[in-house]
Amino acid sequence: MKLCIVGAGAVGGLIGTRLAVSGAKVSALARGQTLAALRAHGWRLKEGDRLLSAPALALSSDARELGPQDLVVIAVKAPVTAALAEAVVPLLGPSTVVLPAMNGVPWWFMPDLESIDPGGSVATTIPLSRVIGCVVHLSAATEAPGLVVHKNGTGLIIGEPDGTSSARLAAVHDLLATAGFSVTSSPAIKREAWYKLWGNLTMNPVSALTGATGDRMLDDPLVRNFCSAAMLEAQAIGARIGCAIEQTPEERHAVTRELGAFKTSMLLDAERGRPIELDPILTVVHELGKRTAVPTPNIDALLGLARLFARSRGLYPAAGSSSLLAPSTGP
């Protein structure tokens, strides 16, 4: 099986290294310092006191040089997905499977979501028929270009978007399991994605706004109650789109509290001056609130504050007012 990692950063580098160490033939579509580091040192991953490494067999900044693959893992930040989609087309053969390992609600979740795929350009270029969904339950960071540090977790939940079983799903499951991941094949991958989002949609933007770690946000009763109110709105949306969540917000907070004094990915991006993934984590929930006629006053307030915060720091595109971002009022 020919594999290509698109976006060999923290998550992509972790997946790529583990696959390469397990014996898979892994190429990478990368650029800049990451590409240079992979060419010089190969795949590298720090696992505690161990350094896992493997040769990088095929590397390029041009997908045409790599050619069609059997599996393409897309592990990039959501803001660059639309620009990247056309670049990966040369990797797509007649039966190529695409595994997006990304934060938030992905383009394949539901058609016509303007907040994550304006005009449907990504869905047109990388159609749903190619996709196996993936929800990432692990944490990693880049210590230097091409050098990934595994923080915690090995969980990957994968599934066909339509909930069916398939030979290609079984093959990807076995491939990832052989590489040491705790893999679950789910018949409800959209619900798994929504459940992960349910916790992230508040913790990520609130942490970026405040600079606070997870424990501090949960220790403040006013902040925790605000997060719970927003989560109840998202829970109501989930019930209307086939992604019902049975937990209470407090039960979800208890899961988050087990992570301790962690920094969210959005806070880390804000601290480093990188664009934040606001649309797939928060704007999309606002959009779905409008689509399902669920009032979202707390989500609206959080989105407005987070968007203003990010725009004032150049971390989110400046834009005029849009009907997409108008307050949700419900029926």
Within 13 A of 112's CA, how many CA atoms are on the CB side? 2
What is the C-alpha separation between 51 and 45, in angstroms, rounded? Answer: 6
Write out pLDDT tens, residues 102-116: 999 999 999 999 999
Pairing between strand 147-159 and 69-74?
Answer: unpaired
Average pLDDT rounded to a whole number, residues 133-155: 96
Looking at residue 324, what is its pLDDT? 40
- Cβ distance 13 to 140 under 8 Å? yes
Q: Which two tokens stand for residue 67?
A: 């050619």
When pLDDT is cut at 50, 70 and 90, the band that residue 320 belongs to is low
Alpha-carbon distances of 160 from 129, 157, 312, rounded to whole Å: 9, 11, 39
- Measuring CA to CA, which residue among 145, 149, 172 is closest to residue 50? 149
Write out pLDDT tens, residues 185-218: 999 999 999 999 999 999 999 999 999 999 999 9
Write out pLDDT tens, residues 255-282: 999 999 999 999 999 999 999 999 999 9
Looking at residue 79, what is its pLDDT? 81
What is the C-alpha separation between 156 and 73, in angstroms, rounded? Answer: 13
Write out pLDDT tens, residues 221-264: 999 999 999 999 999 999 999 999 999 999 999 999 999 999 99
Asked about 151 being catalytic, the answer comes back as no
Write out pLDDT tens, residues 65-103: 999 999 999 999 888 898 899 999 999 999 999 999 999
Looking at residue 130, what is its pLDDT? 97
Quote the mean pLDDT of the chain. 94
CA 102 to the chain's CA centroid = 2
- Helix H or strand E segment including 74: strand 69-74
- Measuring CA to CA, which residue among 66, 107, 118, 121 is closest to residue 88? 66
Domains, the chain, with CATH or none: 2-187 (3.40.50.720), 191-325 (1.10.1040.10)
Indicate if the pLDDT at residue 24 is higher than 70.
yes
Q: Which of 2, 46, 196, 263 is catalytic?
A: 196
What is the C-alpha separation between 249 and 195, in angstroms, rounded? Answer: 11
Looking at residue 187, what is its pLDDT? 98
The DSSP call for residue 31 is: -
- Measuring CA to CA, which residue among 62, 20, 61 is closest to residue 41? 20
Indicate if the pLDDT at residue 17 is higher than 90.
yes
pLDDT > 90: what percent of the chain?
Answer: 93
Looking at residue 325, what is its pLDDT? 43
**What's the count of helices (H) and strands (E) in the chain, helices before strands?**
14, 10
The DSSP call for residue 154 is: E
User: Given the structure tokens 């010089």, which residue do they identify?
Assistant: 40
Looking at residue 322, what is its pLDDT? 40
Looking at residue 328, what is its pLDDT? 39
